[in-house]
């Protein structure tokens, strides 16, 4: 039986859909204005000389420079190092938060979130106070005789990594904690009743079911880490130079907009590559959990 649609009702439905779509317009406008236009402008800049003529020289100069490639390696080391530390520190922490009583979890969560309310600059200089040769940590270490000499904790890779992990950990924690909180406690009870030890419960139930949260957290961390600037600039002491600080120097010291734009595009490409790799990794993990769970 065919039903003749009432055109007035269909028009109502269309109007309703259009209204809800129109709600996204302000955001689309801002994204277009604040993200896409500048990117297009940077791409244009990367092909111009300082005099404003078309050139591919910027690419030749930047891509043939050893400094660029070492900056790329440093960016990758910092990003992946931060991600690894976040996963290793954050996943057990999320598990702990998800398994304590809700009220206690809220209190602990507030402590985790507190740093997010502090300016990144304040926090970075705070770490400087703690990590310096004569800082609190080294004073405690040498004072108690644990180490004879102060440890080199800052103005190097270690210090930069500490500062970055401190910033990223809460951002990583939130989605992972949310995923773990969402796991039905009866699933854990069911696994235990069937004979699973705590370790087996974590491996076969909790981890597969929080993989989505860990994945989201990892993306957030990588997006922040790849372009992170303040922490390497302050805690790196000039010795840790990822792409972000190199862009800044190219601009402030050499006013070379063309080369800086090429570096910016490099950063963008890196981000896209990592995104693709993560997506592929996620698909692989999803497949593996299904297969591994097959008896």
Partner 1 sequence: MKSLAITIESVHKAYGSYVALDDVSLDIQAGEFLTLLGPSGSGKTTLLMALAGFVRPDSGKLFLGDRDITRLPPNKRDIGIVFQNYALFPHMNVLANVAYPLVLRKVPRAEARQRALDTLARVKLDGLAERNVAALSGGQRQRVALARAIVFEPRVMLMDEPLSALDKNLRETMQYEIRRLHDHLRITTIYVTHDQREALIMSDRIAVMNSGRIQQIDTPQRIYDRPSTRFVAEFMGEANIVAPGSARRIDSAEASRETLMIRAESFHLDAKLVGGDGVALEGILRAKAFRGENWLLTLALDGGQEVLVCIPAALAGGCAELAAGQRMTAYAPAAKVHAIPGAMA
Which residues lie near partner 1 (CB under 8 A)? 184, 186-187, 189-197, 200, 204-205, 208-209, 289-290, 293-295
Instruction: Pick the closer one to partner 1 by CB: 272 or 290.
Output: 290
Minimal distance, residue 291 CB to partner 1, in Å: 9
Instruction: Pick the closer one to partner 1 by CB: 70 or 197.
Output: 197
Q: Are 263 and 246 in contact (CB under 8 A)?
A: yes
Instruction: Pick the closer one to partner 1 by CB: 137 or 192.
Output: 192
H, E, C per residue of 26-67: HHHHHHHHHHHHHHHHHHHHHCECCCCCECCHHHHHHHCCHH
Instruction: Pick the closer one to partner 1 by CB: 60 or 197.
Output: 197
Instruction: Pick the closer one to partner 1 by CB: 55 or 289.
Output: 289
Minimal distance, residue 216 CB to partner 1, in Å: 17
HSE at residue 83, side-chain half, CA atoms within 13 A, is 21
Minimal distance, residue 91 CB to partner 1, in Å: 17
Going by C-alpha positions, the residue among 226, 238, 287, 230 that lies closest to residue 83 is 226
Minimal distance, residue 184 CB to partner 1, in Å: 6
Instruction: Pick the closer one to partner 1 by CB: 196 or 278.
Output: 196
Minimal distance, residue 271 CB to partner 1, in Å: 29
Minimal distance, residue 192 CB to partner 1, in Å: 4
**Partners of 54 in the beta sheet?**
48
């Amino acid at each position: 039986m065919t039903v003749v649609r009432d055109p007035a009702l269909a028009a109502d439905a269309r109007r309703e859909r259009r209204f809800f779509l129109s709600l996204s317009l302000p955001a689309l406008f801002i994204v277009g204005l604040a993200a896409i236009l500048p990117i297009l402008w940077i791409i244009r800049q990367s092909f111009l000389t300082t005099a404003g003529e078309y050139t591919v020289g910027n690419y030749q100069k930047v891509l043939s420079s050893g400094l660029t490639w070492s900056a790329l390696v440093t960016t990758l080391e910092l990003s992946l190092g931060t991600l690894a530390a976040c996963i290793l520190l954050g996943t057990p922490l999320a598990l702990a938060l998800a398994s304590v009583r809700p009220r206690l979890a809220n209190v602990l969560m507030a402590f985790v979130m507190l740093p997010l309310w502090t300016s990144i600059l304040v926090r970075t200089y705070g770490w400087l106070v703690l990590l310096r040769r004569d800082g609190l940590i080294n004073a405690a270490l040498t004072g108690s005789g644990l180490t004879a000499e102060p440890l080199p904790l800052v103005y190097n890779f270690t210090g930069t990594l500490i500062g970055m992990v401190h910033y990223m950990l809460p951002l990583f924690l939130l989605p992972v904690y949310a995923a773990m909180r969402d796991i039905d406690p009866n699933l854990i009870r069911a696994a235990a009743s069937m004979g699973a030890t705590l370790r087996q419960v974590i491996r076969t139930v909790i981890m597969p079911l929080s993989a989505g949260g860990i994945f989201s957290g990892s993306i957030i961390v990588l997006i922040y880490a790849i372009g992170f600037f303040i922490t390497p600039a302050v805690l790196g002491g000039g010795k840790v130079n990822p792409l972000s600080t190199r862009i800044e120097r190219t601009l402030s010291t050499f006013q070379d907009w063309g080369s800086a734009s090429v570096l910016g595009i490099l950063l963008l490409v890196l981000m896209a590559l990592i995104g693709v790799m993560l997506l592929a990794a996620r698909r692989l993990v999803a497949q593996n959990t299904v297969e591994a769970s097959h008896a």
